[in-house]
A and B are shown apart, each in its own frame.
Chain A
Amino acid sequence: MRKLSLLGAALAAALAAGALAVTLGFGSSHREAPLSSLDPTGDDTDLYAFTAPDAPGSLTLVANWIPFEDPAGGPNFYRFDDRAAYYLNIDNTGDGQADVRYRFKFRTRVRNPNSFLYALPGVTGIGDSKLNVVQTYSVTRERYRNGREVSSRQVASGLPVAPNNVGPKTIPNYDAVAAQAIRTVRGGGKVFAGQADDPFFVDLGTAFDAINIRNGTGNAGGGKDDLAGYNVHSIVLQVPEAQVTRDARPVAAANAANAVVGVWASTERETVSVTGRGGSRRARTEEVQVSRLGNPLVNEVVIPLGQKDKFNATEPKDDLKNFGKYVLSPELAKVMNVLFPGVNAPTTNRTDIVQALLTGIPGLTQIRAGAPPTDTLKINLGTAPSPSPKRFGVLAGDTQGFPNGRRLADDVTDIELRVIAGFLKGNKVPLGDGVDQNDKPFRATFPYVAPPAAGFDSQLKRTEPAHAPTPADPAGV
Chain B
Amino acid sequence: MSMRLLSRLLPVALAAFAVTLAVLALGRDGSGEGRAGRPAALPQALAPRASTDERIRVLQDTVRAAPTRAAGYTLLADAYLQKVRESGDASFYARAQQAVDRALRLDPGDAGALTQRGSLALARHDFRAGLRDARRARALAPDVNKPFGVLVDALLELGRYRDAGRALQAMVDRRPDLAAYARVSYFRELHGDLDGAVAAMRLAAGAGGEVPESDAYVRTLLGGLELQRGRVGAARHEYRRALLSVPGYPAAQAGLARVDVARGDLGGAISRLRRVVDRLPLPEHVIALGEAELAAGRPAAARRDLALVRAEQRLLGRSGVNTDVELAIFEADHGRPQRAIALARRAWTAARSVRSADALGWALTRAGRPRAALPWARRALALGSRDPSFLYHAGIAARDAGHRAQARACLRRAVAGRAALSALNGPRAVRALDALR
Contacts and interface: CB of A to CB of B under 8 A. Distances in A.
Contacts of B221: 31
B317 to A, nearest CB: 14
Nearest to A81: B206
B349 interface: no
Interface string A70-92: 10011101111111100000000
Contacts of A23: 78, 81-82, 85, 119-120, 122-123
A339 B81 contact: no
A32 interface: yes
Interface in A210-225: 212, 224
Interface in A6-39: 7, 9-39
A456 B77 CA distance: 37
B112 interface: yes
Interface string B1-40: 0011001111110111111011111100010111100111
Given A36-B179, A461-B47, A338 B203 contact: no
Interface stretch (A47-55, A139-147, A280-288): A280-288
B434 interface: no
Contact of A21 (B15, B46, B212): B15
Contacts of A15: 112, 144
Contact of B38 (A19, A209, A270): A209
Given A30-B251, A209-B43, A272-B172, A204 B210 contact: no
B8 A35 contact: yes
Interface residues of B, number: 114
B330 interface: no
A186 interface: no
Contact of B210 (A30, A78, A207): A78
B17 to A, nearest CB: 6
A309 interface: yes
Contacts of B193: 275-276
Contacts of B48: 68, 226, 230, 460-461
A306 B157 CA distance: 27
Interface in A292-318: 306-310, 312-313
Contacts of B82: 23, 34
Given A17-B74, A70-B4, A73-B7, A290 B206 contact: no
A30 B193 CA distance: 20
A331 B32 CA distance: 11
A335 B25 CA distance: 5
Contacts, number: 329
Contact of B169 (A7, A70, A208, A273): A273
A82 to B, nearest CB: 5
A286 to B, nearest CB: 8
A40 interface: yes
Contact of B214 (A29, A35, A70, A307): A35
A15 B147 CA distance: 12
Contacts of B175: 288, 290, 309, 312-313
Given A36-B217, A82-B206, A290-B177, A276 B196 contact: yes
B111 interface: yes
A190 interface: no
B182 interface: yes
Contacts of A206: 43-44
A208 B39 contact: yes
A17 B9 CA distance: 12
A310 B111 contact: no
A338 B34 contact: yes
B41 interface: yes
Given A23-B85, A41-B206, A335-B32, A205 B119 contact: no
Interface stretch (B237-245, B336-344, B373-381, B399-407): B237-245
A41 B23 CA distance: 29
B408 to A, nearest CB: 28
Chain B binding surface, main DSSP class = helix
Nearest to A308: B144
Contacts of A24: 119, 149, 153, 179
B364 to A, nearest CB: 21
Contacts of A38: 11-12, 178, 211, 214
A319 to B, nearest CB: 14
A19 B237 contact: no
Nearest to B11: A1
Interface in A335-373: 335, 337-339
Contact of B143 (A35, A288, A306): A306
Interface in A61-110: 65-68, 70, 73-75, 77-84
Nearest to A300: B18
A232 B23 CA distance: 30
A235 to B, nearest CB: 14
A205 B43 contact: yes
A61 B432 CA distance: 66
Contact of B22 (A4, A11, A461): A11
B172 to A, nearest CB: 5
Nearest to B164: A274
B153 A280 contact: no
Contact of B21 (A10, A75, A226, A313): A10
Contact of B113 (A18, A66, A205): A18
B21 A334 contact: no
B429 interface: no
Contacts of B30: 331, 334
A363 to B, nearest CB: 34
B38 A22 contact: no
Nearest to B44: A205
B188 interface: yes
B71 A14 contact: yes
B348 interface: no
- 10 pairs of A and B residues whose beta carbons are closest in the complex: A18-B112, A338-B32, A9-B18, A13-B18, A19-B112, A1-B11, A41-B209, A13-B15, A17-B15, A205-B47
Given A25-B157, A34-B12, 12 more contacts: A10-B19, A23-B119, A25-B123, A27-B186, A73-B4, A75-B212, A204-B17, A205-B44, A208-B39, A209-B40, A269-B207, A276-B193
Interface of A: 1, 4, 7, 9-42, 65-68, 70, 73-75, 77-84, 114, 116, 204-209, 212, 224, 226, 230, 269-276, 279-282, 288, 290, 306-310, 312-313, 331, 334-335, 337-339, 460-461
